[in-house]
Structure 1
């Protein structure tokens, strides 16, 4: 046994994440070790839309060449030891599209491994091929099959999973779980055998860093034994998909090619959409693929005996622990769907969420099966107006606009007259006020027990930037539909006059909140950037320049904007520790990547220099090779070196960067505009 090394730390710092379009995912470290409770090869949506359960934790392969044994995996144990240390055999790791690919160097043998999830299926493939070897070599793999059946937010322990195991021929093993669903394991070019044993006390260091349970037990149900080939993929597939009951064995070559063809089709679609842009760099193509990973079909309504629930579409806010959230979905929608040339998916998402508008509000948290929507958000409905603006701008779909316009009208009416949580327009200045004690309503929504970390009661600056912007958009919509735009224009004019109250007397940007319980909040936060980045800005050019200058000087980092200036006594430069310590830092200095795209657009609107504004995104390609490879993290430490934190893969981080790059690139090559 060995102790953790710097080499292992580097390999574990890099994580891969792949998804299936149903909310399920596979994830792990490049080293092959588990560092999170969320790591596993198949987390399936057993109870759609959000009932995700870990099914296959590991498929640990050992290469056997005569008397020599080479572990192609790594395990950490609770006593601090590492055994085996297979990460030392990794010759290279890369992504082929979204597919993780390892090359394992074992003496004079070179073995390639690939993992993927078929789109729309709760399935995973882990396959191997001999790339290089001696003519007299006959290498084989022994793969240990480690399963679980637990909620993906929880940790498993000995005895909490007791499946009924059966073999169907030589190459198929089925584990019947307590609720009656099956985990099917199929081997290709292999034989399977049952060998049941609990493997105990896996160490999960990331969970320990987060102040959460950090010991896990897994059930080994057996082994697959296979001979490696230079001409065919050999390995194991696992699924909970019922179609496997047809008895038709899937073909690994065909499944492999279907996955690669889907990735190529996504890039092709985006390139067609971006045909005015002559050179789409590789890192943008990687973001195009990452964008698709957050899009899911989700059942809505109630199923009957004769008819399943109808399928809507939504956005998973971040992997692994977030579901679909109203605010995140509306903010991410333009980048995930419109920048990638998929307006039909944008429309399905928008129409799905429109069906949940209630009293002028969108749910903050989209409901799971049998759950009630939670409406504690002041901004989601306003962001939905902007998302409809982006969709209509891209599609000119006036039929869809006509259908949704009464719902958008109801949003404005309820915000004007008043709705939940004290949300309503102040008739004295035309601005939106919001908030009640104990409730978090803006995107700065951290709450620990009864402690709302950033309550922001009063008139938050980004809410009123969105309100003014939304009123201008509604006037445009009304005019396009042949309706009277004047009521919206008058309300926007009034809000624009009222918005001048956010201007700080010293000329250094905007107040974060006005008319709060303690007066005006002068802390320097990034929320003011939306008063410049949104299509319709209420500010004059000097005020816009002041906002951008303040954000650049106090908040701008390579990967986003800090949520609070470093000089503030409440600034927290590192997002670490237990839940309370992390939430105390979440919006008190932590860097948010989704804000980088908005900053770049705001800078362009002040300077008119699209190339310089776009250059603000230049650090992102390096980040795509760090942390969650091929995607963008949720947050980063406010202090250098700005380590990625939070969700390794976050929808609005990917989306806002992708949207900003495409909009600025169109301007740079003379094919677009971003502002009025």
Structure 2
């Protein structure tokens, strides 16, 4: 369990900086903060995803509780309004918050009355339940639960423009034909809460203000040990809604099953197994994973980079197989589509297909399933052939040395893909070091698998040729590590970045066992992951804060990325360097921001405050993978 007591819960800033998440296995979620304050436009109890999570709508935003004890009235909600007013301040009554088997639980202490709330979602259905339990009271009390409603794109806001359609139904109401809310003794109402303020959106330079509609009120008289339950579910409403208590029980049961399946031996392992499951989603064409909550959908680069941690380290082998087969069926001109988050399918990544080859090799190594590899052999051949001969965006092997070049003006095709005003912030056109490490490992790994399948190929010799060229071109003089990019428009780039680690960390990396790139990256290491650029570089930015312009300029210019601890740990092990305590800071981080999970990024400067998505797939996946591979709960 992750538990906080009264001192943290009563501190609005501290309690509002820690976020919880529960998911529905479809890309939808419920999320908020320990304090109960909605600090993001993305916070709410029912965020409904379209297939794959590429688009989401926010539905039920909150369920504000009021307790009536005789003539005394206590509001347990904490809301913030435009202008900075925080009222009511229900968090001051919050005695504890606990994340127990993935289920968030709050306990308010009102003297001789103690009230508890638990929230859980169904798996495979867009439904959420909240259970209020009166743990102690000398006499029955009255609970009033006000649903605050909207129906909008999760990335935007909605303001009052006429009352929404609220249709009464048995036990509650339907909001704009989009979702149904049911609970005890529904009393219809209708009033706009105007100027609801989200402080994190303001900090990110985005619109922080919206309006929410209070549709009425659920009312229950509850004695000691009694409960009141509210359930909300997205359309279509097939059959009766599940009970909220049933959702909580099922969520805990699933969490225990996931931990057993992952063979988690300690609390950190159990948290990570549950966190990994939050990213795995069912789509109409098979299982996949979203890149991060609360705003990312499915990204093929993130999916394939996360593949081993999310599916293999957790022993989800059947789903792993389906993920690979589904991806193999989408290969186009030797590439995987990057994302549909922008509204259209985009083939604009130089590494997703290469990470796919890596995922296949790791799947075969873990499961021994060559039948699936045989089914994917055509896609693997197509990827390597098209990359060798040329595909979109100038991606092709240089005939002179067999190394892979990529890039086109105005595009950012590597994982360092931030752009401002249509221009890449981190210009990496040319032969990028991690792209070529993946290319060489993909050639060699595919060749080894094809040998086992007795399939004719020449990928092994291509890997050997490219590997020789890699060692000639990328190794900097004097043991100073590797160039980040060679043969770019501006020549060779000697910036110290973590990308070079893949040359040592990958199973068929061209510099496996060489400590020089690892030692060159020592100034990048932090307790939360690897900086994306050395602090000694003039282009380094140590803070990943502010509006979109400031954040995008810092995104890959020094910002810490937790997922890179995986390649660093593997590279250290390959080179025979110590990895003791490498994950200590990241394990503590599970209770610091996105509770039970790992953030997307953090500031490059100490104290490395978390930024980006609070819940990020490849961050969780790499911590989980490394813990599993190194078989030590507090080791890298």
TM range (shorter): over 0.9
1:156-195 aligned at under 5 Å gives the runs 156-159=158-161, 162-168=164-170, 171-175=171-175, 177=176, 181-187=177-183, 190-195=184-189
Task: Give the Å deviation of 1:366.
Answer: 3.9
Counterpart in 1 of 2:217? Answer: 223
SS in 2 for 1:184: strand
Task: Give the Å deviation of 1:232.
Answer: 4.6
SS in 2 for 1:535: coil
Task: Give the Å deviation of 1:667.
Answer: 12
Task: Give the Å deviation of 1:256.
Answer: 2.3
Per-residue CA deviations over 1:129-185 (Å, capped at 9, x if unaligned) read 111222xx11121111111000000011112761232142xx22222x2xxx33211
* Count of residues in Structure 1 that have an aligned counterpart in Structure 2: 628
Q: Stretches of 4+ moved more than 3 A in 1?
A: 46-49, 229-233, 666-669
Identify the match of residue 256 of structure 1 among 234, 248, 263.
248
1:298 counterpart = 2:298: no
Say if 2:268 and 2:633, in contact at 8 Å, map to a contact too.
no
Task: Give the Å deviation of 1:281.
Answer: 2.0
SS in 2 for 1:75: strand
1:499-518 aligned at under 5 Å gives the runs 499-500=470-471, 501-518=473-490
User: In the superposition, relative to structure 1, how do residues 667 and 295 fare at CA in structure 2: closer, same or farther (>3 Å)?
Assistant: closer
Name the CA distance, whole Å, in 1 between partners of 2:326 and 2:223: 47
User: In the superposition, relative to structure 1, how do residues 270 and 158 fare at CA in structure 2: closer, same or farther (>3 Å)?
Assistant: same
Per-residue CA deviations over 1:392-420 (Å, capped at 9, x if unaligned) read 11211111111110110010001110111
Identify the match of residue 139 of structure 1 among 118, 138, 141.
141
SS in 1 for 2:338: coil
1:257-656 aligned at under 5 Å gives the runs 257-271=249-263, 280-299=265-284, 311-366=285-340, 372-484=344-456, 487-500=458-471, 501-539=473-511, 541=513, 544-552=514-522, 554-607=523-576, 612-613=578-579, 615-656=581-622
Task: Give the Å deviation of 1:51.
Answer: 3.1
Name the CA distance, whole Å, in 2 between partners of 1:640 and 1:249: 48
Counterpart in 2 of 1:55? Answer: 59
Task: Give the Å deviation of 1:284.
Answer: 1.5
User: In the superposition, relative to structure 1, how do residues 49 and 583 fare at CA in structure 2: closer, same or farther (>3 Å)?
Assistant: closer
Task: Give the Å deviation of 1:235.
Answer: 2.1
Say if 1:233 and 1:252, in contact at 8 Å, map to a contact too.
no
Name the CA distance, whole Å, in 2 between partners of 1:363 and 1:516: 25
Say if 1:597 and 1:617, in contact at 8 Å, map to a contact too.
no
Task: Give the Å deviation of 1:482.
Answer: 1.3
Counterpart in 1 of 2:3? Answer: none
Task: Give the Å deviation of 1:331.
Answer: 0.3
The two structures have a TM-score, normalised by structure 1, of: 0.90
SS in 2 for 1:324: coil
Name the CA distance, whole Å, in 2 between partners of 1:479 and 1:245: 51
Name the CA distance, whole Å, in 2 between partners of 1:211 and 1:252: 37
Say if 2:484 and 2:494, in contact at 8 Å, map to a contact too.
yes
Say if 1:167 and 1:193, in contact at 8 Å, map to a contact too.
no
Counterpart in 1 of 2:191? Answer: 197
Task: Give the Å deviation of 1:666.
Answer: 7.7
Say if 1:598 and 1:660, in contact at 8 Å, map to a contact too.
no
SS in 2 for 1:440: coil
User: In the superposition, relative to structure 1, how do residues 94 and 442 fare at CA in structure 2: closer, same or farther (>3 Å)?
Assistant: same
Per-residue CA deviations over 1:294-347 (Å, capped at 9, x if unaligned) read 011112xxxxxxxxxxx3221100111111011000000110011001011111
Say if 1:129 and 1:229, in contact at 8 Å, map to a contact too.
no
Name the CA distance, whole Å, in 2 between partners of 1:231 and 1:392: 52
Extract unaligned runs of 5+ from structure 2. 1-8
Name the CA distance, whole Å, in 2 between partners of 1:227 and 1:16: 29
User: In the superposition, relative to structure 1, how do residues 161 and 518 fare at CA in structure 2: closer, same or farther (>3 Å)?
Assistant: farther
Say if 1:26 and 1:41, in contact at 8 Å, map to a contact too.
yes
1:127 counterpart = 2:120: no
User: In the superposition, relative to structure 1, how do residues 507 and 238 fare at CA in structure 2: closer, same or farther (>3 Å)?
Assistant: same
Extract unaligned runs of 5+ from structure 1. 275-279, 300-310
Say if 1:438 and 1:451, in contact at 8 Å, map to a contact too.
yes
Identify the match of residue 69 of structure 2 among 59, 65, 70.
65
Q: CA RMSD in A?
A: 2.0
User: In the superposition, relative to structure 1, how do residues 240 and 10 fare at CA in structure 2: closer, same or farther (>3 Å)?
Assistant: same
Task: Give the Å deviation of 1:47.
Answer: 6.5
Name the CA distance, whole Å, in 2 between partners of 1:62 and 1:466: 56
User: In the superposition, relative to structure 1, how do residues 350 and 229 fare at CA in structure 2: closer, same or farther (>3 Å)?
Assistant: farther
Name the CA distance, whole Å, in 1 between partners of 2:333 and 2:381: 11
SS in 2 for 1:216: strand
Deviation larger for 106-115 or 532-541: 532-541
Say if 1:31 and 1:87, in contact at 8 Å, map to a contact too.
yes
